[in-house]
Amino acid sequence: MTIAATDASPVVNLSSVSISATAGDHALFIGGSHDVAVLTGGTETVQAYQGYNTITTGAGNDAIRIAGAGNVVNAGAGNNSIEDSGSGNTFVMPGAGKGMDDINGYVMSNGDKFDFTTALKGTSWDGLASDLGNYLHVQNSGNDALISISNTANGAASLVADLHSVGQVSLSTLLAHSVT
């Protein structure tokens, strides 16, 4: 199913469908599950509350709200806002300088995972777990955990995610909730 650039507020209540939009800004409501939504045309707002959906957005400053379990969210480039009231979801993290995700929800206590696979491929990391801390960094600021990535070992780091209100998080705690 292709969403037209002029369809600003589409609603999709079907399950197991592919949804795409390559132009225009949209406020998409997904009422089904097992849907794949690829919205890369503009600034996107996506709501998906049933679970088991895959949501990919592009370079705009997007807002994504999910519930249920088993969702995969790749918010792409831009400064994105993600709200998670579900569990067992996966967030694909942007690479250094390729976007920043503000993530709200109980992401450190509800079985969520952070997928750094693609983000780390954009670095010179050698794949050794013992060297990962030279590329992936956690800084705590108040009750938030700020996640950053360096393209070279201990090089300049770019903020890629702010995990809001999660408490103190160490690198080992983050890695226990991550895919690398």
> Cα torsion at 129, 81, 79, 145 (round to 10°)?
-40
pLDDT attached to residue 41: 85
Give the residue extent of every domain in the chain.
11-117
Hey, is 144 helix, strand or coil?
A: strand
Average pLDDT, the chain: 96
> Cα torsion at 61, 56, 134, 180 (round to 10°)?
160
Own/partner pairs, 62-70, CB within 8 angstroms, 24+ separation: 68/33, 69/111
26: number of Cβ within 10 Å: 26
The contacts of residue 131 (CB under 8 Å, 6+ apart) are 125, 153
Please compute the mean of the pLDDT values over residues 2-8 and round it to a whole number.
93
What does the alpha-carbon distance between residue 156 and residue 147 come to, in Å, rounded to a whole number?
13
- pTM exceeds 0.75: yes
pLDDT attached to residue 173: 97
The pLDDT confidence band at residue 179, using thresholds 50, 70 and 90, is: very high
First-to-last C-alpha distance (Å) of the chain: 32
